[in-house]
A and B are shown apart, each in its own frame.
Chain A
Amino acid sequence: MKRYQAQITLLAALLISFAVSRISGQMNDYYLDIVLTAGISVILAVSLNLVNGHTGQFSLGHAGFMAVGAYGASVVSIEMGPPLLRLFGSSEAGQGVAFLAALVIGGLAAALCGWIVGVPSLRLRGDYLAIVTLGFNEIIRVILQNTKPDGVFGGALGLGGIPSTTSIFWVFGAAAVCIYVVTAMIGSTWGRGFLAVRDDEIAAGSMGINTTRYKVTAFVVGAFFAGVGGGLYAHQKGAINPEGFNFLKSVDVVVMVILGGMGSTVGVIAAAIVLTGLNEYLRDFEQYRMIIFSLLLIIMMIVRPQGLLPATLFQKKGRTA
């Protein structure tokens, strides 16, 4: 029983989110929206944490991958929705399968971009990834903005008319899968390689670990889930535009990871939920939000670089992770 604990937890989480989504129709739309946003933030933060926390790299372009996933999934839903529904049947289950296909395709598109961006920049040590991902984020935005307004991507005005399929089940199901995949990767014997790369790249390389491969794997998996998160976001809002996936969106996710504690899944989840709530609560102080966020980044790095809920809090004695 103990051996399958993680799998059982995942299954339970999926079942619970399915059950909750059955009754979520009675929730106030405003609160439902916040809950969904929080769940998507959890997906984004946990997947970024795999790269920035566990593997010790620094990606600044999570919103870029989110954009690829969001546009990929939306285009699949809009352009290929009817044939997909004919294939799977237009029952609720058929719609679910079609949505799943859209999300996975969006995620895979993001993962492919992650691979293209990651391979050149992750071969090297140092801070190149930060710049390249930041640049990627900008390029994706510029490309999307310069597409034809009447084309499939909708140009600067963005895409509308995306079916609102995202529900509690999809968001929390995806979050559970994301958390499961990340913890299973990190917890496995093979996954020690990620932590080894973070702790000392030279030593890890000397021990026979292919550091580039580990870094690229983490980055591609992170990009995949960012894409899935983007797909969920698009199908929650119903309309997306390139400006919604700018650098600041990436910074939001980075702040979640740093506040929660790089490499601490629990901390990052908590930070994602709390910060999403705070953003809603502090709508009136929008002007000060980024000033406070940036000050937080600086102060955290000087005073408590391990984050508010670091991974060491949750470790059993005598184990290191």
Chain B
Amino acid sequence: MEQFAQQLLNGLFLGSIYALIALGYTMVYGVLRFINFAHGDVFMLGAFSGLYLNRWLGPSLASLHWSISLTIILVLSMLICAALGILIEFLAYRPLRNRPRLNVLITAIGVSLLIEYTGQHPAVFGATQQPFPALIPANNISLTGNLAVTNTQMIVFVTVVLLLVALRYIVMKTRMGLAMRALSLNPTASALMGVNNSVVISFTFGLGSALAAAGGILYASLYPSVEPFMGIMPGLKAFIAAVLGGIGNIPGAALGGLIIGVTETLVGGYSSVVGLPTGYKDGVAFVILILILLFKPSGLLGKTEREKV
């Protein structure tokens, strides 16, 4: 039982990061109706900007409390990745607006590969795994009984919750959030009401990329090693989380992320009991995806959209 609770807890922490990445997928899908394949790579870029910022700013931040330097690095990386996200949208996706969806999808795959392989080049990040610095000092907190939680896990979870609250505020209470929701309901009508759709799309990309960057740094804090291909698997799983929750639905993405994280950790923890290699835990998310597509394609919280000609 205790082991089960421990696994559940670990899954919750991993799932909260998936939720953060899934939000980017779901928001971009909401405004543009397409899967931003490069989102997982923005996540990777976030982790790398954390690594490099810490390398460059580390000495001057050393005198500050770790929470302040973590906040500075987190916010700067989020800004860098937001700018990159907006740039990617501007250069690659904007010229393709109103083109067939297939073309945009292929471009997105192209962007994703371009980021990964440029990153892999020795002159950029290099292909080898690099250790990620401990931005949060390691410290074990033991909860009631034998449940162990690291300091890092708690901080990661708290940061994710804060970011989700901030996102909720932006989407529900600000004018830009209102415009985002209008655009995702009906692009033509929102343009007629005076919403500048291009600006809103750029903003959405920026917001999604910033969350991915935060996800990247937090993920790298839990699993402290970064490499240019690290975004592929978490990116795919986060996408599946978005589909599971109902793509385009923001609370759904968060819920989906938690479910995927918990399921994956449980399967990883118990697969040896049934005699399966732990490597199979990476496949669980895809099984979930196939099941959800078969039985409830609109996702847990999504609404069925009717197609109109």
A: residues with CB less than 8 A from B are 56, 58, 60, 117, 120-121, 123-128, 130-132, 134-136, 138-139, 142-143, 145-146, 202-203, 206, 247, 251, 254, 258, 287-288, 290-291, 293-298, 301-302, 305
A135 touches B289 (CB 8 A): yes
The interface of chain B, by Cβ under 8 A from chain A, is: 34-35, 37, 92, 95-96, 99-107, 109-114, 116-118, 120-122, 232-233, 236, 239-240, 243, 277, 279-280, 282-283, 285-286, 289-290, 293-294, 297, 307, 309
Question: What residues on A are CB-neighbors of B37 within 8 Å?
Answer: 130
**In the docked arrangement, what's the CA distance between A123 and B92, Å?**
29
User: 12 interchain pairs (CB within 8 A)?
Assistant: A56-B102, A58-B102, A127-B34, A131-B239, A132-B290, A138-B283, A202-B309, A287-B122, A290-B116, A294-B111, A296-B110, A302-B92
Write out the residue numbers on chain A whose beta carbons fall within 8 Å of the beta carbon of B293: 120-121, 123-124, 128, 132
A interface, over-half SS: helix
Known: A131-B239, A291-B121. A298 touches B289 (CB 8 A): no
CA distance A63 to B95 in the complex (A): 30
Known contacts A126-B101, A294-B114: does B96 contact A302 (CB below 8 Å)?
yes
CA distance A139 to B294 in the complex (A): 18
Contacts of B283 in A (CB 8 A): 138-139, 142-143
What's the nearest-Cβ distance from chain B to residue A32, in Å?
31
> Which 7 A-B pairs have CB atoms at the shortest separation, nearest pair first?
A297-B110, A294-B113, A135-B286, A294-B114, A298-B110, A290-B117, A146-B277
**Known contacts being A139-B283, A297-B106, A301-B103, is A120 close to B117, with CB within 8 Å?**
no
Contacts of A134 in B (CB 8 A): 236
Whether the pair B236, A131 counts as a contact (CB closer than 8 A) is yes
A254 to B285, CA, bound (A): 24
- Given A58-B102, A127-B101, A291-B121: A135 in contact with B236 (beta carbons within 8 A): yes
A302 pairs with B236, CB closer than 8 A: no
Task: Name B99's contact: one of A126, A290, A305 (CB within 8 Å).
Answer: A305
Specify which chain A residues have a CB less than 8 angstroms from the CB of B105 in the assembled complex: 58, 127, 130
Inter-chain contact A291/B290, CB cutoff 8 Å: no
Pair B290/A298 contact, Cβ less than 8 Å: no
Q: List A contacts of B101 (CB < 8 A).
A: 126-127
